[in-house]
């Protein structure tokens, strides 16, 4: 089975390339139209433009890009952040003195869209940190499928510390690219290993337990989609966005067990009950899930500060696994057996994004996933150099990630 490090490096390189090639998209500026009473009953119109301090002057909107003066009107520029003029706007003059209108303005080719969708045409990178709780299970059958379950292993409450980054880019053409590289370190968990002589988990002759710690995981996702925006009329910058996605994903899991002890030995199984002794890790198990995926993402944008995002994805996988049973002297080490099968799974996500600053934001996300394989083949590698095969009933994993991220838009 391939090691997880090359896959992780591949996803990191792709994400780095996306960041390096992302185009600059100016942050929309705020334009205030102010009407004040003038002398001789004439009204004076001031255009006060606030440009974020991080926006270079060469990207600041020009007066002719903000408003089109009617015939006879004139406008003069006093500075990048202070525009004023006396313009005959009949619609504006009907309004009361004071601030009468507030809108968003940007470069001329994005102005109309920015008024409706202020968060469009942006790239962002998010550094995330959090934790996960996962279960992992697999079982195999005996020779000629008798018994139908001869051995079953269950890892429960495998808790990991996770960190990594997310990247997203959206162009003016509505194309959206996104990626994730998330690394995990297993902190705790527990395992039960049961063996049976009879079908359907009957005549259990062996049951052992172990602590799980010191393993690792990697989540890598790449996707491309096309966004469809639906403005909410009269809601001042609020809109919905739906984005169908397709892409490729790879997930790896590596669990390591130690401090094992035998709970049950029956039907003539000659293993003493009690702890295995101070012999370090007694077994390791690694899985790889990789393949294409399709999904749908829904977003609700409330102005510039608040975004709610929900997504669902369906995955098709090739599943590979390896185990190292260190206490079995009749098996080879470090690969005692390998497994191959096809699989599928669902992943659901929910996140809230808060932008208290122009470019920096905070991302809170919760993700659930459930993957499983179909039946396949388990190949055992014996210490004498021979090998044999038995049926794989299946591998499945289920878990939840909770992540908090600090993001930057550019």
Q: Does 260 have pLDDT greater than 80?
A: yes
Pairing of strands 175-198, 151-170: antiparallel
Question: Can you give the pTM of this predicted structure?
Answer: 0.72
The predicted model gives 92-98 an average pLDDT of 40
Q: Does 353 have pLDDT greater than 80?
A: yes
Chain segment 183-241, per-residue pLDDT in tens: 999 999 999 999 999 999 999 999 999 999 889 999 999 999 999 988 887 666 688 99
Residue that the structure tokens 């270079």 belong to: 56
Structural domains in the chain, sorted by start: 4-25+119-409 (2.40.128.90), 30-109 (no CATH)
Confidence of residue 6 (pLDDT cuts 50, 70, 90): low
Structure tokens at 295: 């999904």
Neighbours of 99 (CB within 10 A): 12
Structure tokens at 294: 């399709």
Work out the mean pLDDT of the chain and round it to a whole number: 78
Angle ∠(180,182,186) on CA atoms, nearest 5: 160
What's the rounded Cα separation, in Å, for the pair 136 and 398? 7
Q: Does 275 have pLDDT greater than 50?
A: yes
Confidence of residue 8 (pLDDT cuts 50, 70, 90): low
- Do 354 and 369 meet the contact criterion of CB atoms below 8 Å apart? no
Confidence of residue 100 (pLDDT cuts 50, 70, 90): very low
Q: Does 377 have pLDDT greater than 50?
A: yes
What's the rounded Cα separation, in Å, for the pair 188 and 206? 24
With pLDDT > 90 as the criterion, what percentage of the chain qualifies?
57
Chain segment 103-155, per-residue pLDDT in tens: 333 333 444 444 444 444 578 999 999 999 999 999 999 999 999 999 999 99
Q: Does 328 have pLDDT greater than 50?
A: yes
User: How much is the pLDDT for 115?
Assistant: 44
């Amino acid at each position: 089975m391939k090691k997880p490090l090359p896959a992780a490096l591949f996803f990191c390189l792709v994400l780095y390339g996306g960041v390096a090639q992302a185009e600059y998209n100016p942050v929309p500026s705020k334009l205030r139209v102010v009407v004040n009473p003038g002398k001789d009953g004439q009204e004076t119109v001031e255009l006060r433009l606030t440009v974020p301090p991080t926006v270079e002057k060469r990207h600041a909107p020009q007066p002719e890009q903000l408003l089109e003066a009617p015939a006879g009107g004139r406008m003069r520029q006093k500075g990048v952040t202070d525009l004023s003029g006396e313009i005959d706007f009949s619609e504006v003059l009907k309004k009361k003195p004071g601030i009468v209108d507030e809108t968003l303005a940007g470069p001329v080719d994005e102005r109309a869209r920015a008024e409706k969708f202020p968060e469009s045409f942006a790239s962002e990178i998010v550094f995330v940190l959090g934790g996960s709780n996962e279960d992992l299970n697999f079982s195999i059958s005996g020779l000629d499928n008798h018994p139908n379950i001869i051995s079953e292993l269950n890892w429960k409450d495998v808790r990991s510390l996770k960190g990594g980054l997310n990247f997203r880019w959206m162009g003016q053409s509505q194309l959206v690219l996104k990626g994730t590289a998330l690394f995990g370190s297993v902190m705790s968990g527990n395992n039960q290993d049961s063996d049976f002589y009879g079908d359907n988990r009957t005549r259990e002759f062996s049951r052992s337990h172990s602590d799980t710690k010191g393993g690792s995981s990697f989540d890598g996702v790449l996707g491309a989609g096309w966004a469809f925006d639906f403005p909410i009329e009269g809601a001042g910058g609020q809109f919905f966005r739906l984005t169908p996605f397709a892409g490729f994903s790879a997930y790896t899991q590596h669990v390591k067990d130690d401090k094992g002890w035998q709970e049950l030995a029956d039907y003539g199984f000659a293993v003493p009950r009690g702890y295995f002794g101070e012999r370090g890790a007694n077994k390791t198990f690694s899985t790889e899930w990789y393949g294409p995926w399709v999904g749908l993402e829904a977003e609700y944008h409330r102005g510039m500060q608040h975004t709610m995002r929900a997504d669902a994805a369906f995955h098709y996988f090739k599943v590979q696994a390896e185990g190292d049973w260190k206490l079995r002297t009749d098996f080879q080490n470090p690969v005692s057996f390998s497994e191959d099968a096809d699989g599928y799974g669902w992943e659901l996500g929910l996140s809230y994004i808060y932008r208290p600053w122009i470019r920096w934001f905070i991302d809170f996300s919760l993700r659930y996933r459930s993957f499983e394989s179909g039946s396949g083949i388990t190949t055992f590698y014996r210490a004498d150099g021979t090998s044999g095969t038995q049926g794989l009933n299946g591998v499945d994993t289920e878990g939840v990630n909770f992540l908090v991220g600090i993001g930057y838009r550019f």
